[in-house]
Amino acid sequence: MKLRSLRERELISAVRKEFSGKKRNLILGIGDDAAVIRSTSKSLLLTTDLLIEDVHFTASFHPPYYLGRKALNVNLSDIAAMGGRPRFALLGLALRAGTELDYVKKFLMGFKAAAGESQTELIGGDISASAKITISVTVIGEGDHFIRRSGAKPGDSIFVSGCLGDAAAGLDLLKKGFELGKNKKAAALLRAFLDPVPQTELGLTLSTHRAATAMIDLSDGLSVDLLHLCEESRVGADVHLEKLPLSPELRLFEKKPENFALHGGEDYQLLFTVDPRNLGFIEKLQKKYGIHLIGKMRRGQGLSLVDEKGKKRPLEIKGFEHLVS
Amino acid sequence: MKLRSLRERELISAVRKEFSGKKRNLILGIGDDAAVIRSTSKSLLLTTDLLIEDVHFTASFHPPYYLGRKALNVNLSDIAAMGGRPRFALLGLALRAGTELDYVKKFLMGFKAAAGESQTELIGGDISASAKITISVTVIGEGDHFIRRSGAKPGDSIFVSGCLGDAAAGLDLLKKGFELGKNKKAAALLRAFLDPVPQTELGLTLSTHRAATAMIDLSDGLSVDLLHLCEESRVGADVHLEKLPLSPELRLFEKKPENFALHGGEDYQLLFTVDPRNLGFIEKLQKKYGIHLIGKMRRGQGLSLVDEKGKKRPLEIKGFEHLVS
């Protein structure tokens, strides 16, 4: 047997051994032409993402363990943004010839850890070769009620979970040579980029209580993602500059922290809108989930930035460039 | 808005317009954080595949329309190999900077044509940049009964649909400069590689009538895929050399057609095993689906090749190298 096929089969065997857990409603997992799951009475959520070396991540500063976690977690973030519960995952992995088995093992350990934390089961996938490490993850979730991007109304309050811009600042520092473990003061920023945490529990709470009118996860940056939500909902939005949640670390390391908060991507926090009647419920969640009010939906279209003096100007829409030059 | 984000959004809009069909049990399609489908009483099949430029296809000789068809069809082949019916698809697409919009349109037209033929609905995906065109497709199918790789028993007959080795011969000729439309005598071989047809109806018929004990689709070549089936079923197999179905075109263009039939990949035909009691049913299907008996399962392990004189020797297992050098 030639090397390529042999290594593929070895890898698939290793993955199969590592991920052989039995899960409720799983009929057939890794190892056949397709995985089989039993239907339940709930609706199913489906999302997929590609992560490509030198586009979405840099192998030299993204430890494989964290890369494995992130590959799954960015998809779990999409499920969280619908208010669903993740259940199953498929993993497509293309590796450079000569990739160390140890690298693959660490990647899989990270993927497995994130799967364990979210009770998501890896049930199938595909392994092949490529010039750049390429990762495709599909996640299947479920739920009874979903929060779309299109339900926001004028007068709804805009909230985000967590702090904004930390991941983009982390990437900025990694490019400058900062390393996790070495630069302790920057650790929170580096970790925000290398190991983002999906807001699954918050998403579920908001959907269970019908507490949000619209929701999206922050992957491309606040300005771009809020615009998506506004366009789908056919409304405009006012964002209050002084209300942007900025972490002490972001203020410490970046001269223009607001720009990172407005346009930095990959925070994988949730952005959602709330009808005035539900503000009381959101208040109760605020401490537990670190939720911040940042503005209000309005009639019209486009985004406005309101400064400390109440002065309004158009908010520039600037997509986060990830690693693409 | 920067170019990358703009083009991504333009593309997503174009895809959304093109694929906005309503399908039974689809609650929410392209355009949100995840797609939503309604559960049915049937079980769900899930499969995913990566297609990467210069690994799985060569952009210079794979017209984008056929690439779009193939990207979906190779996944439909996995669903066919389980005996399921395809329903929904997710598409992850990463494009080189500077890819012509016309190229993307043709790719999507091909994808759409294959989706229409199989009544599969595109419900979501992901678009990004990359140095090599990268395609990840996930297909969701359904069914009541599935045919695994693991059910073959000693004494079962081994069948394949269609002819073997045509796709590998097609690739061989494409590498030598043959072109679809120019080299008419080779058209069937070139098309076998560029535009394989998933055997959905045959797979469904076999599963509905519980007529196959095990099944797999031929993507890596007969020797590798039959070995997979044998290992999962814990049996061995005898393949009869003179029974290999070789097309007239394969005999015309290749000096060692048997090698292409034994080890050539990407035919996306079905390989399945049949209990003696069901041979009558299979006989009735033989003409309609071009099914060929090629050998028999036996006790033990490994594959044997039986020549014209009844002499047996071990069948070498040789993985199809696709385009990887």
pLDDT at B185 over 80: yes
Identity of the amino acid at B306: V
* pLDDT the model gives residue B97: 84
Confidence of residue A18 (pLDDT cuts 50, 70, 90): confident
Confidence of residue B45 (pLDDT cuts 50, 70, 90): very high
Chain A CB contacts of B136 under 8 Å are: 48, 50, 92, 136
User: What whole-number distance in Å separates Cα of residue A253 and Cα of residue A262?
Assistant: 16
CB A293 within 8 A of CB A157: yes
Chain B CB contacts of A79 under 8 Å are: 33-34
pLDDT at B325 over 60: no
Chain A CB contacts of B45 under 8 Å are: 34-36
CB-nearest partner of A84 from B34, B92, B319 = B34
Give me chain A's average pLDDT, please.
92
Query: Whose structure tokens read 């109304």?
Result: A153
* pLDDT the model gives residue A21: 64
Mean pLDDT of A51-56: 94
Give me chain B's average pLDDT, please.
92
User: What whole-number distance in Å separates Cα of residue A100 and Cα of residue A86?
Assistant: 31
Give the model confidence (pLDDT) of B125-138 as tens digits. Answer: 988 889 999 999 99
SS3 for chain B is: CCHHHHHHHHHHHHHHHHCCCCCCCEEECCCCCCEEECCCCCEEEEEEEEEEECCCECCCCCCHHHHHHHHHHHHHHHHHCCCCEEEEEEEEEEECCCCCHHHHHHHHHHHHHHHHHHCCEEEEEEEEECCCCEEEEEEEEEECCCCCCCCCCCCCEEEEECCCCHHHHHHHHHHCCCCCCCCHHHHHHHHHHHCCCCCHHHHHHHHHCCCCCEEEECCCCHHHHHHHHHHHHCCEEEEEHHHCCCCHHHHHHCCCHHHHHHHCCCCCCEEEEECHHHHHHHHHHHHHHCEEEEEEEECCCCEEEECCCCCEEECCCCCCCCCCC
pLDDT at A321 over 80: no
* pLDDT the model gives residue B321: 64
Highest mean pLDDT among A27-31, A128-132, A256-260, B36-40: A256-260
- In chain B, residues under CATH classification 3.30.1330.10 are 3-143
Residue A124 touches partner B, C-beta closer than 8 Å: yes
Residue A46 touches partner B, C-beta closer than 8 Å: yes
Chain A, window 178-237: residues with a beta carbon less than 8 angstroms from a chain B beta carbon: 215-217, 220, 224, 232
User: What whole-number distance in Å separates Cα of residue A322 and Cα of residue A92?
Assistant: 21
DSSP state of A237: E
Confidence of residue A214 (pLDDT cuts 50, 70, 90): very high
Mean pLDDT of B186-201: 97
Terminus-to-terminus CA distance in chain B, angstroms? 41
Mean pLDDT of A229-241: 97
0.90 exceeded by pTM: yes
- B212-227 b/e with 16+ CB inside 10 Å = b? bbbbbbbbbbbbbbbb
Specify the 3-state DSSP secondary structure of A195. Answer: coil
Token readout for A307 is: 């400064």
| Sign, Cα dihedral of A178, A181, A185, A186 | positive
CA distance A319 to chain B (A): 6
* pLDDT the model gives residue B287: 87
Q: What is the CA radius of gyration of chain A?
A: 20
- Tell me whether residues A52 and B134 touch, CB distance under 8 A: yes
Task: Name the residue among A42, A29, A128 with its Cα closest to residue B45.
Answer: A29
pLDDT at A62 over 90: yes
Inter-residue long-range contacts of A25-30, CB under 8 Å, 24+ positions, other chains counted: A25/A87, A26/A88, A26/A121, A26/A123, A27/B43, A27/B146, A28/B146, A28/B148, A29/A121, A29/A122, A29/A123, A29/A124, A30/A122, A30/A123, A30/A124, A30/A125
Strand partners, A49: A137
Chain-centroid distance of CA B44 in Å reads 19
Chain A CB contacts of B131 under 8 Å are: 54-55, 131-132
CA distance A322 to chain B (A): 10
Chain B, window 50-79: residues with a beta carbon less than 8 angstroms from a chain A beta carbon: 50, 52, 54-56, 78-79
Q: Residue A314 belongs to what H/E stretch? A: strand A312-314
Task: Name the residue among A125, A34, A124, A28 with its Cα closest to residue B82.
Answer: A34
Identity of the amino acid at A16: R
For the domain B157-314, what is the CATH code?
Answer: 3.90.650.10
pLDDT at A12 over 80: no
* pLDDT the model gives residue A162: 96
Give the model confidence (pLDDT) of A72-94 as tens digits. Answer: 999 999 999 999 999 999 999 99
- In chain B, residues under CATH classification 3.90.650.10 are 157-314
Task: Give the rounded percent of residues in chain B with a pLDDT score beyond 90.
Answer: 78
Confidence of residue A1 (pLDDT cuts 50, 70, 90): very low
Mean pLDDT of B307-317: 94
Cα torsion A20, A65, A76, A52 to 10°: value is: -110
Chain B CB contacts of A46 under 8 Å are: 34-37, 88, 90, 123-124, 138, 140
Identity of the amino acid at A251: R
Residue A151 touches partner B, C-beta closer than 8 Å: no
User: What whole-number distance in Å separates Cα of residue B295 and Cα of residue B304?
Assistant: 10
Pairing of strands A291-298, A236-240: antiparallel
User: What whole-number distance in Å separates Cα of residue A140 and Cα of residue A123?
Assistant: 10
pLDDT at B201 over 90: yes
Token readout for A265 is: 């991507």
- In this structure, of A79-93, A204-218, B28-42, the range with the lowest mean pLDDT score is B28-42
- In this structure, of A217-231, A238-252, A267-281, B4-18, the range with the lowest mean pLDDT score is B4-18
User: What whole-number distance in Å separates Cα of residue B190 and Cα of residue B209?
Assistant: 34
pLDDT at B298 over 80: yes
CA distance A301 to chain B (A): 16
Q: Write phi, then psi, for A212 (nearest 5 degrees).
A: -115, 145
CB-nearest partner of A33 from B43, B92, B216 = B216
Token readout for A156 is: 């709804």
Task: Name the residue among A84, A83, A77, A76 with its Cα closest to residue A121.
Answer: A76
pLDDT at B82 over 90: yes
* pLDDT the model gives residue B21: 64
Closest chain B CA to residue A51: B128
Confidence of residue B41 (pLDDT cuts 50, 70, 90): confident
Chain B, window 84-113: residues with a beta carbon less than 8 angstroms from a chain A beta carbon: 84, 88, 90-94, 97
Residue B317 touches partner A, C-beta closer than 8 Å: yes
Mean pLDDT of A153-168: 97
- Tell me whether residues A88 and B46 touch, CB distance under 8 A: yes
| Sign, Cα dihedral of A252, A254, A256, A260 | negative
CA distance A60 to chain B (A): 18
Confidence of residue B19 (pLDDT cuts 50, 70, 90): confident
Angle between helices A200-208 and A64-80 (to 10 degrees): 10
pLDDT at B144 over 50: yes
* Domain B3-143: CATH superfamily, name plus number: PurM-like, N-terminal domain (3.30.1330.10)
pLDDT at A97 over 90: no
CB-nearest partner of B2 from A43, A90, A321 = A321
